[in-house]
Amino acid sequence: MEEYSEMNGQNDEQNTGGEFGGSYYQHNAMPREKKSGQNSCAGYILVGILCLLVGIAVGSCTTTLAISGIKEAAESVLPGEDKGSGDNDDSGFSFEWHFGEKKPENNRPAKDEEYEEPEKKQYTGREMPVLDGQVPIISDTVNPAPDIVEQTFEGVVGVNSYEKVKDKDELEGYGSGFVLSSEGYIVTNAHVIKGASKVTVTLPDNDKQEIDAEVVGYDSTMDIAVLYIRKDGLKPLALGSAENVRVGDFTIAIGNPSGSELAGTATFGIISATSRNVNIDGHENEYLQTDAAINPGNSGGPLLNMKGEVIGITTAKNIFAGYDEYGNTISAEGLGFAIPIDKAVEVVEELITQGHVARPGMGINVIEITEENAEEYDLHPGILIYSVTKNGPAHKAGLRVDDIVTAYDGINVTTQGDFVDYIKDKRVGDTVSLEIIRGDEEITIDVTLGDINEMGDELVGNRTSSLFD
């Protein structure tokens, strides 16, 4: 079973993760360490009272144990009961959930939630700033790394993400970023800042001072965000190109693993692959692969070539490769991924000049039902609707969890990839006709595509499919 999530700017919290070759991909925004609570005397008193009450009750309840035990046994096998949380996964894959987020419980509402027209967002465009980064001056051509690190260090920043807790902003996570222009624009990963109540930036010359940052825009499909700060004397990095990168080329990654304590950490490696198609959090993109060490907190930092130019934005690493014959996890080392800068700049320009990137989508997570799956689970082959985003296009059109798509615009479903690519090639506002199997019915539903970067973060009924549980 292969899973796909359309995921959007605010809908990533409900994403069910992404699969690629049995590997586990972790975004590297570092969550803030939670402080443990302290026990109070009242807790001990409460436990004492409860124990006393239990002791009194034991004598009176023994006569009903047999009856209640039979009743519970009967309820446990009643058809339609949902005893699990829906989180069990026997596929051998594991999925990463972003910091500060929880998996949706697989609860089943008594009835579908009513669709409510979402508020239309307004965007403000700006002029594209001058990209005025300077290429480092290399004095040692045999080992240019020290010159590169010394001259690019000031252009790498820390990015802090806050969440609102009881009307107060509390630090929830942190990542990295780099200065794009001396005019105040900074690039980082979308997953570092999405959903934040406040975002701040720390500069390498004073990592104790946090500068309030404005989120210009972000695109979760490519996992790119642009921030703006008011600060003179910023040191922008020079942008290169990933077009002519070759396997074996040396690379340097600079970032803030584990936050400000290790700010400006530089790691060295090679390009392991130049165009690796990887599905991370339901989005399949083309990445540079590197063995330069990338750790939590590195997200959004630059990947540099031996000229000191940015050729990629570090975004994820593989932390384990699978399981051995005994079920133990096998650690993976040296598998890091970065967004090629050429594609990133296209998104950055659109975010700055238009305020957002329009991405066509329905607001659904889907799973492919292969012939083998269909036979094993007694289902019809096709595309299973795993979850539906509340107030998204699919919700508005009447799609439901557990619907199975068998055709779209008259095209019979062959693979999930073909279906996803078909939607990606459409435009916001286009209508796609879906042929659906719902229980014993065959119905047709027309869905008008929306902008997935404008959709909310809730699932309809907070529900996901349990057909594969």
Query: What single DSSP character describes residue 79?
Result: T
Q: Which of 223, 281, 403, 451 is catalytic?
A: 223
What domains are there in the chain, each with its CATH number? 3-20+358-462 (2.30.42.10), 145-354 (2.40.10.120)
Written as six digits, the tokens of 214 are: 């404005």
User: What tens digit of pLDDT does each residue of 435-448 get?
Assistant: 999 999 999 999 99
Residue 191: active-site member: yes
Length of the chain, in residues: 469
| Residue 110 confidence (pLDDT) | 39
| Residue 454 confidence (pLDDT) | 84
Q: Helix, strand, coil proportions of the chain in percent (round to 5)? A: 20, 35, 45
| Residue 70 confidence (pLDDT) | 29
| Residue 250 confidence (pLDDT) | 97
Q: Which of 12, 98, 176, 191 is catalytic?
A: 191
Residue 299: active-site member: yes
Of 362, 372, 332, the closest CA to residue 429 belongs to 362
User: What tens digit of pLDDT does each residue of 154-206 get?
Assistant: 999 999 999 999 888 988 888 999 999 999 999 999 999 988 999 999 998 87
How confident is the prediction for the chain on average, in pLDDT? 79
* Ranges in the chain, pLDDT < 50: 2-3, 7-25, 33-110
Who's near 273: CB < 8 A, 6+ residues apart?
Answer: 247, 288, 289
Q: Which of 94, 220, 299, 387 is catalytic?
A: 299
Written as six digits, the tokens of 187 are: 């690039």
The one-letter amino acid at 166: K
Residue 223: active-site member: yes
| Residue 1 confidence (pLDDT) | 52
User: What tens digit of pLDDT does each residue of 95-113 get?
Assistant: 232 333 334 444 444 356 7
